[in-house]
Amino acid sequence: MSELTTSTESMPEHPASEATTPEPTAAEIAAETATAPPPSAHERAAMTPGPAAAETATTTAASTTSIEAPPTTAANDHYSKSANAEIWWNAHFEQAAGQVLDFFAGDGISLEGKSVADIGCGDGIIDLGVAVRAKPDRLVGFDILSHDVEELRERAATYAGLEKLPDNLYFCVSDTTRLPAEDDEFDYVISWSAFEHIADPVAILREIRRILRPHGVLFIQLWPFYHSAHGTHLVDWYPEGFAQFRHSHEQILRTVRSSGEQQMASDMIEAYRTLNGITADGLQDALRQAGFRIVKVALDSEAVHIPVEASHLPLSQVAISGIKLLAIADDHWAESAPQFTNAPPPVVAIQPKDSAESDEPGADQDEPAADPGHAEPTEQPDEETEPESGSPS
């Protein structure tokens, strides 16, 4: 993709086009089962109630007393894609945008009158909230998918009473490893729930380093980490959590496809399939390689029931569900950083052994997926088996 400038003079005020998701072909279904679920944009807001919870986990032995995680009501959770449109709107326009601004404000940072970029802006609701509340001079939302600005305008009128989108808000389609922006163009860069989907985090972080001004600040929020309870993003199908370890990749795909509203299922399969398996330590490593130093961090953690299939994992993976951080450019840090050739790999562990779903007896039985952190060293996969490039969610 050729580079484009995001300057006010050359950028359309609110470029928009509708992105549709075609029904998957048989070849695409086979390809999905052959690739590891390693960004897609923020998923559609108005969804019908999701399917019921899937099977519960088995206990270590019949005589063992188990403590089961109580099922949750997915539709009441704003992270659920079956949450109604108003819940989804408030969770992003009010809560998420507010958390971004509060995290900056805790260090006396205001975005007012500044130039701001959002990497992986998705449906643009968070950007709208930031633009309205913080009043930056310009906020540009980047995503690898085109933005339905007309839909955003309609939602803004319905849920926020806005007659039009603010003049300081722009959207731009980006490449998977290249941002169409000039060097040193932005004072601040934000990213919300995108870096768990980005196929090459170091490449994008280096691009952020390029477009960020010398004294700029980067804000990243990531939720949920892959190894945490709802790391699959499939809370509507697996409200009990840890489905990535309790069920095989093929079984997860079959379960999602066979129930619920089909557009919702298609969107969430894409979100699941593009997960990269990054951990908190892996994110720090990527930032360091790209020339950033973390200066402020907040970890998200809550009480969870750890199933036996995930009991071998470090608590730093299963118990940390998310992160917020601020990072600044640090050239010395980048120069001294080792090359992390053994950085956490993409989530190849839940990749099925066979490339296509089997019709043999017993093919539908769940087999807990192994964990990438415990996989034996293997040769690097061929290019054809590498995870698809993705984008921010």
- Over residues 146-161, the pLDDT tens digits come to 989 999 999 999 999 9
Beta bridge partners, 139, equal 116, 169
Place of tokens 């970890």: 299
Amino acid 346: pLDDT? 42
Report whether pLDDT(331) > 70.
yes
How many angstroms separate the CA atoms of 80 and 384, rounded? Answer: 32
Position 262 scores a pLDDT of 87
The pairing of beta strand 138-143 with beta strand 115-119: parallel
Contact of 333 with 226, CB cutoff 8 Å: no
**pLDDT over 90 at 72, yes or no:** no
Q: Please give the model's pTM, rounded to 2 decimal places.
A: 0.70
Cβ 191 vs Cβ 390: under 8 Å: no
What confidence score (pLDDT) does residue 84 get? Answer: 84
* Rounded Cα distance, 293 and 289, in Å: 10
3-state secondary structure of 198: coil
Phi, psi of 61 (to 5 degrees): -155, 155
Does residue 77 have a pLDDT over 70?
no
32: nearest Cα among 211, 198, 249: 249
pLDDT in tens, 296-320: 999 999 999 999 999 999 999 999 9
Q: Supply the DSSP symbol for 151.
A: H
What would the two tokens of residue 336 be?
Answer: 């001294």
Question: Could you give the CA distance from residue 261 to residue 256 in angstroms, rounded to a whole number?
Answer: 10
The answer to whether 276 and 38 are in contact (CB under 8 A) is: yes
Q: pLDDT value at position 25?
A: 52
Alpha-carbon gap, residue 367 to 101, rounded angstroms: 43
- Tell me the C-alpha distance between 348 and 371, whole Å: 8
Residue type present at position 272: Y
Q: Which of 81-90, 151-160, 221-230, 349-358 has the lowest mean pLDDT?
A: 349-358
What kind and span of H or E run contains 218? strand 212-222
Q: Any bridge partners for residue 391, and if so which?
A: none
Strands 186-192 and 292-300: unpaired
Asked if 255 and 364 count as a contact pair (C-beta separation under 8 A), the reply is no
For 185-236, the pLDDT digits (tens) are: 999 999 999 999 999 999 999 999 999 999 999 999 999 999 999 999 999 9
Determine whether 98 is exposed, middle or buried from the number of CB atoms within 10 Å of its CB (0-12, 13-18, 19+): middle
d(CA 181, CA 245): 40
Residues 292, 289: Cα–Cα separation, whole Å: 7
Q: Going by C-beta distance under 8 Å and a sequence separation of 6 or more, which residues neighbour residue 185?
A: 6, 7, 115, 117, 211, 213
Q: Higher confidence at residue 64 or residue 108?
A: 108
pLDDT in tens, 235-292: 999 999 999 999 999 999 999 999 868 888 999 999 999 999 999 999 999 999 999 9
User: Cα–chain-centroid distance for residue 275?
Assistant: 7
Distances (CA, A) of 183 to 7, 175, 178, 207, 211: 12, 16, 12, 9, 4
Q: Which of 112-126, 160-174, 360-374 bottoms out in mean pLDDT, i.e. has the lowest?
A: 360-374
Average pLDDT, rounded, for the chain: 76
> Which of 27-31, 78-82, 169-173 bottoms out in mean pLDDT, i.e. has the lowest?
27-31
| Cβ-contact 181, 173 below 8 angstroms | no
pLDDT the model gives residue 79: 56
- CA-CA distance, 212 to 194, in Å (whole number)? 18
167 has a pLDDT exceeding 80: yes
